[in-house]
Amino acid sequence: MPGPALSSEQYVDQLGMVCPICEDTRFVYPTSSYKITGRMEDRFVVDMEGSDLLLLPMQCSECETTWLDNFVLHSYSNLKVKGVEVADA
Ligand SMILES: [Zn+2]
């Protein structure tokens, strides 16, 4: 099988939500198990070279490809308590 159409770098440049194999953007979603339940157990957090990486299972239903989106926790934002914004620390 030939290599992917998009490298990891090209995938990140497009901000994801594109199939690395067929480059389709219409049928790319988190896997159905994640969509249905939305539970944290359906994500996988690993420690990779000292940084916590969140791995979100993805799928392209156009060409039946699956992969993991790898997220690094960056920060939090839009913090609210009972709907009231909390100022930054
Ligand atoms: Zn595809």
Q: Is residue 61 part of a domain?
A: yes
Expressed in angstroms and rounded, the spacing between residue 56 Cα and the centre of ligand 1 is 17
pLDDT of residue 1: 74
pLDDT at residue 13 in the model: 94
Tell me: the pLDDT tens digits for 28-52? 988 755 554 445 555 666 666 666 7
Residue 22 lies in a domain: yes
Distance 45 CA to ligand 1 centre (A): 25
Alpha helices in the chain (DSSP H): 8-13, 32-37
88 within some domain:
no
- Cα(73) to centroid(ligand 1), Å: 27
Predicted confidence at residue 36, as pLDDT, reads 47
Ligand 1 centre from 71 Cα, in Å? 20
Contact between 11 and 19 under an 8 Å Cβ cutoff? The reply is: no
Judge whether 79 lies within some domain.
no
**Count of domains forming the chain:** 1
Give the residue numbers spanning the domain of 58. Answer: 8-73
Residue 82 lies inside a defined structural domain of this protein:
no
Residue 60 domain flag: yes
- pLDDT, greater one: 60 or 54: 60
Structure tokens at 23: 């480059």
Within a domain: 3: no
